[in-house]
C-alpha cells in the first residue's frame, strides 16, 4: 500500500481540545436520549467558543435532557473548572437550539415491520492491520496513547501545571513495511504560568523534560533512540488554550477519530449521531469486519468499504481490499463478508448492540483500537465462522 521504507505521521488530541469537548457534549446528549428512549433519532451538533456553548441539531425523542446541567457536568469532568484555563464550567453561557428531526428523513429511516432504512446516503471505510496488537496502524495508536497519557498525568496530579487542552504527533520510520523507530515526537500541552521562563516567552526546560520523561518515554519506550527528536510546545508557551484560543465544533477531528490518515475515512463524522445514521454504525461494522478478517489471519491488512442510500436497507456495494496480503482473493472475501456479517442498518444495530448509552466514551482518543467492553465493534468473535464459511465458498 505504501513504500516499504518511509516516514509516516499521525496526530491525536486530548479530551480538552475544543473540538473534542464538542464531540463529548454531542455524544453525551445522544447517550442521555438512548438511556431513556432507545428509539431516539439524534443528530446533535455543538459549537464552543470563549465563554459560550451552543448545542443544536435535530432530535426526535420521548426523553428529557437537561442540556444545561449535562454540558456543565461534562465540561467539569474534562477539567475546565478554573478561569485560569480560559474556560470555566461555572460561568460559561449555554444556548440550546435543538429542534425535531425532519419528517422526510424519518419516513426513510422508519419502516413497517421494524425494518430500518439508512439514515443517509454515504460511503464508510473500516480497516485493520497486524502492525499492532490492537490491529491498528502504529502511528495513530501511539499518538492516541500519548494524548491519553497527557490527560492521565494531568488528572492524577503527576504534572499539576498542565491544562486540559493538548495535542500529540508521532513520526514513525518504516523499514521493510514495519514500524521500527520513532523519528519525531511533538507534544503541545496547555500549562499554567508556574512553568514559564523568566522572559515569559518559553516553557521552562525542566517542565519540557518532565513531559518527555512522564508522557513520551512510558508510551514509546523501545522505539526511541538517540536520533529521536522532541518538540514540546513549539511556539514557546501554551498558556491560552481550549475554547479561549480556538473555537470547537462537533466532527472536526475525523482523522483522529479513525486511522490517523493511513486509509480513507469516508463520508461523515461520528459524534452526536444515533446508529440509524450509517456514517457511524456502518463505519463501526466496517472496522469490525476488517478486524475479524485480519484476526482470522485471512490477511495482514484489510480495508472494507460499505456504501448506502437513504431509505434503503441493504448496502449498494461491499468492497474488500487486502493489498495483496490476503490468503484468498479480495473478491472471495467480499462474498464472505456478505455471508457472515449483517449489513442492513437494523442488522448492524442489533449485532453490535448500538442502542446503548456508550457514545460519550468514544468521543476522545479514537473510536477504534481501544478494547473497551462496550466497543463491540472491536471484538474478534467471528474468526471461527469466517474460516468455516470460507471453505464452502
pTM recorded for the entire structure: 0.94
The domain 6-13+138-243 is classified under which CATH number: 2.40.10.220, 3.30.2270.10, 3.30.300.10, 3.40.50.720?
3.30.300.10
Residue-wise pLDDT tens digits, 243-252: 999 999 999 9
CATH code at 122-130+278-390 = 3.30.300.10
Q: Residue 105 has what pLDDT?
A: 54
Question: Per-residue confidence at 199, pLDDT binned at 50, 70, 90?
Answer: confident
Q: Residue 115 has what pLDDT?
A: 61
Phi, psi (rounded to 5 degrees) for 168: -135, 155
3-state secondary structure of 295: helix
- The DSSP symbol for 227 reads T
Q: What are the residue ranges spanned by the domains of the chain?
A: 6-13+138-243, 122-130+278-390
Return d(Cα 334, Cα 313) in angstroms, integer.
18
3-state secondary structure of 183: strand
Helices 278-295 and 345-352 cross at an angle (nearest 10°) of: 60
Adjacent-strand bridge partners of 319: 305
The residue count for the chain: 393
Handedness of CA 138, 190, 160, 81 (dihedral sign): negative
Radius of gyration of the CA atoms of the chain, in A: 22
Q: Is the fold of 6-13+138-243 the same as that of 122-130+278-390? A: yes
* Distances, alpha carbon 159 to alpha carbons 156, 190, 212, 320, in Å: 8, 11, 11, 45
Which of 388, 301, 270, 298 lies closest to 22 in space, CA to CA?
A: 270
Q: Residue 307 has what pLDDT?
A: 97
Q: What value does the mean pLDDT take over residues 58-64? A: 95
- What's the burial of 96, exposed, middle or buried (CB within 10 Å: 0-12/13-18/19+)? middle
Phi, psi (rounded to 5 degrees) for 239: -80, -40
Amino acid at each position: 500500500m505504501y513504500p516499504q521504507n518511509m516516514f509516516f505521521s499521525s496526530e491525536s488530541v486530548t479530551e480538552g481540545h475544543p473540538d473534542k469537548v464538542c464531540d463529548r457534549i454531542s455524544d453525551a446528549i445522544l447517550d442521555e436520549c438512548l438511556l431513556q428512549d432507545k428509539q431516539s433519532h439524534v443528530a446533535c451538533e455543538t459549537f464552543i467558543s470563549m465563554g459560550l456553548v451552543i448545542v443544536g441539531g435535530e432530535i426526535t425523542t420521548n426523553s428529557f435532557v437537561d442540556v444545561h446541567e449535562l454540558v456543565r457536568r461534562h465540561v467539569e469532568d474534562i477539567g475546565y473548572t478554573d478561569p485560569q484555563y480560559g474556560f470555566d464550567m461555572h460561568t460559561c453561557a449555554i444556548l440550546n437550539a435543538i429542534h425535531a428531526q425532519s419528517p422526510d428523513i424519518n419516513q426513510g429511516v422508519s419502516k413497517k415491520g421494524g425494518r430500518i432504512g439508512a439514515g443517509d446516503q454515504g460511503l464508510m471505510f473500516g480497516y485493520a492491520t497486524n502492525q499492532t496488537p490492537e490491529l491498528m496502524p502504529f502511528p495513530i495508536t501511539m499518538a492516541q496513547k500519548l494524548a491519553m497519557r497527557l490527560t492521565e498525568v494531568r488528572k492524577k496530579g503527576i504534572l499539576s501545571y498542565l491544562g486540559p487542552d493538548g495535542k500529540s504527533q508521532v513520526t514513525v520510520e518504516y523499514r521493510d513495511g514495519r514500524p521500527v523507530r520513532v523519528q519525531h515526537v511533538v507534544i503541545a500541552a496547555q500549562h499554567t504560568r508556574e512553568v514559564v521562563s523568566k522572559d515569559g516567552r518559553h516553557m521552562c526546560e525542566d517542565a519540557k523534560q518532565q513531559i518527555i520523561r512522564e508522557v513520551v518515554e512510558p508510551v514509546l519506550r523501545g522505539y526511541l533512540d538517540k536520533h529521536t527528536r522532541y518538540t514540546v510546545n513549539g511556539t514557546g508557551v501554551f498558556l491560552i488554550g481550549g475554547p479561549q484560543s480556538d473555537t470547537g465544533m462537533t466532527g472536526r477531528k475525523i482523522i483522529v477519530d479513525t486511522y490517523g490518515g493511513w486509509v480513507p475515512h469516508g463520508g461523515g463524522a461520528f459524534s452526536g449521531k444515533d446508529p440509524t445514521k450509517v456514517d457511524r454504525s456502518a463505519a463501526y461494522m466496517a472496522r469490525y469486519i476488517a478486524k475479524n478478517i485480519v484476526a482470522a489471519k485471512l490477511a495482514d491488512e484489510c480495508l472494507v468499504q460499505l456504501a448506502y442510500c437513504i431509505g434503503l436497507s441493504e448496502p449498494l456495494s461491499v468492497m474488500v481490499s487486502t493489498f495483496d496480503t490476503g490468503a484468498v482473493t479480495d473478491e472471495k472475501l467480499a462474498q464472505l463478508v456478505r455471508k457472515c456479517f449483517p449489513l442492513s442498518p437494523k442488522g448492524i444495530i442489533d449485532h453490535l448492540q448500538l442502542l446503548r448509552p456508550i457514545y460519550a466514551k468514544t468521543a476522545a482518543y479514537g473510536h477504534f483500537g481501544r478494547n473497551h467492553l462496550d466497543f463491540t465493534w472491536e471484538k474478534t468473535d467471528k474468526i471461527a465462522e469466517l474460516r468455516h464459511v470460507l471453505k464452502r465458498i
